[in-house]
Structure 1
Amino acid sequence: MSTTNMNRGKIVFYEDRNFQGRSYECSSDCSDMGSYLSRCHSCRVESGCWMLYNRNNYMGNQYFMRRGEYPDYMQHLGMSDCIKSCRMIAMPHFRGRMMYMRPGEYSNFSVGMGMGAMGGLSGMRFMSMRRIMDSWY
């Protein structure tokens, strides 16, 4: 496998549960999956980490997916069957908890990121931060 291929992710979406029905294989960002699949009930992440969105152009609810098989992820993760866009994201080598923050202004992390008493992350502190640009490969 070439160095280029090692840096690429691969995810396969299926219209039906248990990897059945039409499929769409994706190895780069896709801002509109509507022309490939009418719905999505299962997926297989073969490499890389992905953020899935329920609206076109990387908008709406986000769902983080890492390598693995998801035969019925709507039931297990409470996801919608209308995955409309996906983006491969870089996973830095780190220890501990990682949070993916959407672009925007964050003036108060404890309120905006759910780190207060209700969020269960009240004792968390930042040790490092990495900016992920639009595409990392």
Structure 2
Amino acid sequence: MKIYERPDFGGQMMEFMDDCPSVNDRFRYRDIHSCNVMDGYWTFYEHPNYMGRQYFMSPGEYRRFSDWAATAQLSDLSVPRWKLQNEIYERPDFGGQMMEFMDDCPSVYDRFRYRDIHFCHVMDGYWNFYEHPNYRGRQYFMSPGEYRRFSDWGGYRSTIGSFRCMRDF
């Protein structure tokens, strides 16, 4: 992945091949105005140490930061490794109704009959959860592990509208 300080791939450029917990330590400009994802899938974070809003980036050219619906100030990069399997629960600590997914879900309510996910166990793979149906709204990148509450995945509330698994790596 290459990031640029100006729109349309202008100004200073920095190339990344792996995770970077603080872009600001390597790239002297705070604002990232364009990027080129040449291979793989990446997640941008708004703040250092993988905190704040997340922006999932698939291969492609992003000429302006508005192309990925972000602010220009992004602090961290992460490159994940991928497989697929995910369990979601209606209540905390493996409680209530459970459903296992191994594919995309454009509407959690249509398949699960609930909008609130209080516990998630990502067994294999990497997933992008979205606040609204049809992959819209805030995004939450989920790597393997147990998420005992929505704040564990960076959410402000338990409502999840859709999610998709990451493929083509």
**Hey, what does 1:44 align to over in structure 2?**
36
Percentage of pairs with the same residue: 26
SS for the counterpart of 2:66 is helix
Query: In the superposition, relative to structure 1, how do residues 14 and 30 fare at CA in structure 2: closer, same or farther (>3 Å)?
Result: same
**TM-score, normalised with respect to structure 2:** 0.53
State how far apart, in whole Å, the 2-side matches of 1:69 and 1:22 are: 16
Gaps of 5+ in 2: 86-101, 105-126, 129-140, 151-156
Any residues of structure 2 matched to 1:84-95 within 5 Å, and which? Answer: 84-92=75-83
RMSD: 2.7
1:13 aligns with 2:8: no
**Hey, what does 2:52 align to over in structure 1?**
60
Query: In the superposition, relative to structure 1, how do residues 91 and 37 fare at CA in structure 2: closer, same or farther (>3 Å)?
Result: farther
State how far apart, in whole Å, the 1-side matches of 2:63 and 2:16 are: 17
When the two structures are aligned, how many residues end up with a matched partner? 104
State how far apart, in whole Å, the 1-side matches of 2:82 and 2:61 are: 19
Deviation at 1:76, TM superposition (A): 3.0
CA-to-partner distance for each residue in 1:11-68, whole Å, 9 max, x for gaps?
1000000000001100010011113141100000011100100101111100000111
Which residue type is aligned with residue 68 of structure 1?
A: G
**Hey, what does 1:27 align to over in structure 2?**
17
Higher relative contact order (CA 8 A, sep 6+): 1
Which residue type is aligned with residue 24 of structure 1?
A: M
